[in-house]
A and B are shown apart, each in its own frame.
Chain A
Amino acid sequence: MTTTADPTKADPAKGEPATAARSAEEELPPPPADEEDIPVPPGAPRALLRSLLGPHRARITVAMVVILVQQAALQSGPLLVAVAMDRAIPALREHDSGPLVAVIAAYLFCALLSPVLQWAFIKISARVNQDILLELRGRIFRHAQRLSLDFHERYTSGRIISRATSDIDALRELLSEGLQELLTVFLSVCYISVLLLVLDWRLGLVSLVSAVPLALIARSFRSRSRRVYRRSRTSAASLIVRFTETMNGIRPVQAFRREKANDAAFALVNRQSATATADGLLEIARYVGLSRATANLWVTGVVLFGAYLVVDDTLEVGALTAFVLYLRRLYDPIDQLAMFLNSYQSAAAALEKIAGLLAHEPTVAEPAEPKELPQAASGRITVKGREVSFERTRFAYPTGREVLAPFDLLIPAGQTVAVVGATGAGKSTLAKLLARFYDPSDGRIRLDGVDLRELATPELRRGVVMVTQESFLFSGTVAENIAIGRPGATREEVEQAARDIGAYGFIAELPDGFDTDVRKRGGRISAGQRQLVAFARALLADPAVLILDEATSSLDVPGEQAVQRAMRTVLAGRTAVIIAHRLSTVEIADRVLVMDQGRIVEDGSPQELIDGAGRFAALHRAWRDSLV
Chain B
Amino acid sequence: MAENRHDTDNPPADGTVTARPRSTVRSLLRLWPYARAVRGRLAVSVTAATLGMLSTLAVPVLLGRIVDGPLATHDLAALRPLVGLLLLLGLFEAGLFYTRRVVLARPLAGLETAMRGDLFAKLQRLPVSFHDRWGSGQLLSRATADMYTMRLFLAFPLVFLIVNSVMFLAGAVVMFTQDWRLALIALVPVVPLFLLTRRFESGYSGASRLAQDQNGDLATVVEESVLGIRILKAFGRHRSMAERFRAQSQELRRTELHKAHLLANLWSVIVGLPEIALGCALAAGAYLVAHDELSAGALVAFLSTALALRWPVESLGWLLAYANEAATATDRFFEVLDEPDTPDPGTATGLGARDGIRFTGVRFRYPDAPAGSPDLLTGIDLHIRSGETMALVGATGSGKTTLTALLPRLYEATAGTITLDGRDLRDLPRERLRELVAVAFEEPTLFSATVRENVLMGAPGASGEQLRSALATAQAGFVDKLPEGADTEVGEQGLSLSGGQRQRLALARAVVGDPAFLVLDDPLSALDVHTEALVERALREVLGTTTALVVAHRPSTVLLADRVAVLADGRIEAVGTHQELLRDCAHYRELMSGEAALVPEGSAAP
Contact = CB atoms under 8 A, between A and B. Distances in A.
Contacts of A506: 396-397, 601-602
A530 to B, nearest CB: 10
B124 A502 contact: no
Interface stretch (A77-85, A374-382, A405-413): A77-85
Interface string B89-121: 111011101101110111011101100110011
A118 B260 CA distance: 12
Given A236-B144, A622-B530, A284 B553 contact: no
B307 A529 contact: no
Nearest to B256: A130
B525 interface: yes
B132 A523 contact: yes
Interface in B223-257: 223-242, 245-246, 249-250, 253, 256-257
Nearest to B110: A274
A468 interface: yes
Interface string A506-524: 1111011000000111111
- Report, nearest first, the 3 A-B pairs whose CB atoms are least far apart: A505-B602, A296-B90, A289-B98
B105 A281 contact: yes
Nearest to B448: A245
Nearest to A93: B290
14 contacts: A29-B495, A157-B223, A160-B222, A246-B123, A285-B98, A295-B94, A297-B91, A422-B530, A437-B230, A522-B132, A557-B594, A558-B396, A581-B529, A623-B529
A558 B233 CA distance: 30
Nearest to A543: B235
Contacts of A138: 242, 245-246, 249
Contact of B140 (A244, A263, A502): A244
A149 B366 contact: no
Interface of B is mostly: helix
Given A244-B136, A484-B240, A581-B532, A255 B594 contact: no
Given A32-B493, A259-B125, A115 B272 contact: yes
B242 A145 contact: yes
A283 to B, nearest CB: 9
Contacts of B395: 556, 558
B286 A100 contact: yes
Contacts of A281: 101, 104-105, 108-109, 155
A528 B397 contact: yes
Interface in B400-436: 400-402, 405, 408, 410, 431, 434-435
A141 B447 CA distance: 25
A332 to B, nearest CB: 9
Contacts of A116: 268, 272
Nearest to B100: A285
Given A85-B300, A111-B272, A243-B143, A274 B131 contact: no
A267 to B, nearest CB: 6
A504 B602 contact: yes
Contacts of A295: 90, 94
B83 interface: yes
Interface of A is mostly: helix
A562 interface: yes
Interface stretch (B69-77, B176-184, B462-470): B69-77
A460 B236 contact: yes
A50 interface: no
B493 A104 contact: no
Interface string B562-597: 000000000000000000001000000011111001
Nearest to A471: B231
B71 A307 contact: yes
A320 B71 contact: yes
B260 A126 contact: yes
Given A137-B249, A274-B113, A475-B135, A245 B94 contact: no
B113 A475 contact: no
B159 interface: no
Contact of A89 (B279, B286, B603): B286
Nearest to A532: B396
Contacts of A252: 439, 441, 445, 447, 457, 506
B272 A537 contact: no
B298 to A, nearest CB: 12
Given A246-B124, A562-B600, A114 B272 contact: yes
Contact of B222 (A77, A164, A524): A164
A519 B458 contact: no
Contacts of A321: 63-64, 67
A58 interface: no
Nearest to A519: B135
Contact of B410 (A26, A120, A254): A254
Nearest to A262: B124
Interface in A228-253: 236, 239-253
Given A5-B531, A115-B275, 12 more contacts: A2-B529, A84-B282, A93-B290, A115-B267, A245-B447, A285-B101, A285-B105, A293-B91, A295-B90, A299-B86, A468-B231, A472-B228
B94 A527 contact: no
A441 interface: no
Interface stretch (A195-203, A386-394, A444-452, A547-555): A547-555
A59 interface: no
Given A114-B272, A300-B83, A557-B593, A288 B491 contact: no
Contact of B144 (A169, A485, A512): A169
